[in-house]
Structure 1
Amino acid sequence: MTNLAKLIPGNTFPSIEAMLLDGDRVNLGQAHGDADWQMLVVYRGKHCPLCVRYLNLLEQHKQQLTAIGVSITAVSADSKIQATENMQSLNVSFPIAYGLSVEQMKQLGLYISTPRSETETDHIFSEPALFVINGEGVLQAVDISNAPFLRPELDVIVRGLTFVRKQTDYPIRGTLIE
């Protein structure tokens, strides 16, 4: 059995880059636009209808997140062709990155899966995760799943982040390490 490396809330989020469909490279943990916080959503890829649904639901919360200074980027291990094809099913205005490597997946502490068959997809992919990185580049919140149907409710995330952003002394949770 292999131990999975965990990112620790309160520590600096690793500098990881991926490609956007327009050819630009993006630092996945860095806020963009007028935001100072970043929400990074890792999704399984084009082959996952639950991921497409989740990303489309996330778009419905983008305005609320933007209002509290949180930008959104989503990333998968898909190829550029797969990511481009996936845009036909996605109705989102936040950046979609592709090409997450196995090394990067491990660096993020993600659960990694192999396809069940060639009809599912043609590459190793990560299971879903959600990271919130604060204005200092520190991991504020993390949710890592090993299955596509285990994801935090977006309404709850938005309400929680709104609460945290309004507090001046709300601590980063989960930092006690024995």
Structure 2
Amino acid sequence: MYTDKLQAGSIFPNIKATLSGGEVVNLSEPEHGREWKMVVVYRGKHCPICTKYLNSLEQYVEDLQELGVDLIAVSADSEQQLKAHKEELNVSFPLAYGLTQEQMLQLGLYISTPRNAQETDHNFAEPALFVINGDGKIQIVEITNAPFSRPDLDILLSGLRFIRDPENNYPIRGTFSK
């Protein structure tokens, strides 16, 4: 099956999801006075690799904040699944739920069907990570079809430090097209 992938340098779409407290947020809009936004898409509560990755991401929150990068993670889970998942998570950044299949397609994500009812009760997105710059454009995009293929967080943070340093004048990469 072919999916339209979001391109580096394109405007991140207006996608909304719901936080565990019920507040609806726009995934592309940075908050707390920050200029950039990192959106981490994860498979859901059923994925132990996602739980580990989200917990690992917590150690980078302060560094991201210092770089002016706001962080949110989102899945297609229900509110109940997110609440149950939060018991396994030790994170301070916002977690959103309710990503629809239409939104997943709009983001160009790989979508999987559950292997069985014990895994989960809905189609879900495979992992992705988007870094949206101050102009609302996709600075970094990582879309994968498997839970064990994700960006190394140390390397990602190092790269963001380099990109965010104005002296480097680092452009959005990967924008060449025919």
TM-score, normalisation: structure 2: 0.98
Q: How does 1:46-61 map to 2 (within 5 A)?
A: 46-61=45-60
Question: Which stretches in structure 2 are left out of the alignment for 5+ residues?
Answer: none
Deviation at 1:34, TM superposition (A): 2.4
Looking at structure 2, the residues matched to 162 and 10 of structure 1 have their Cα atoms a distance apart, in angstroms, of 19
The answer for the alignment partner of 2:172 in structure 1 is 172
Q: What is the root-mean-square deviation of aligned Cα atoms in Å? A: 0.7
Looking at structure 2, the residues matched to 3 and 47 of structure 1 have their Cα atoms a distance apart, in angstroms, of 26
Counterpart amino acid of residue 104 in structure 1: Q
Percent sequence identity over aligned pairs: 56
Which secondary structure state, in structure 2, belongs to the residue aligned with residue 170 of structure 1?
A: coil
The answer for the alignment partner of 2:44 in structure 1 is 45
Do structure 1's residue 158 and structure 2's residue 145 form an aligned pair? no
Do structure 1's residue 27 and structure 2's residue 26 form an aligned pair? yes
Deviation at 1:25, TM superposition (A): 0.4
Equivalenced residue count is: 177
Deviation at 1:57, TM superposition (A): 0.4
Which secondary structure state, in structure 2, belongs to the residue aligned with residue 64 of structure 1?
A: helix
Q: How does 1:101-116 map to 2 (within 5 A)?
A: 101-116=100-115
Question: Which stretches in structure 1 are left out of the alignment for 5+ residues?
Answer: none
User: Displaced runs of 4+ in structure 1, greater than 6 A?
Assistant: none
Deviations 1:67-112 (A, max 9, x none): 1100100000000000000000110111100000000000000000
Deviation at 1:167, TM superposition (A): 3.4
Looking at structure 2, the residues matched to 56 and 112 of structure 1 have their Cα atoms a distance apart, in angstroms, of 23
Looking at structure 1, the residues matched to 114 and 9 of structure 2 have their Cα atoms a distance apart, in angstroms, of 33
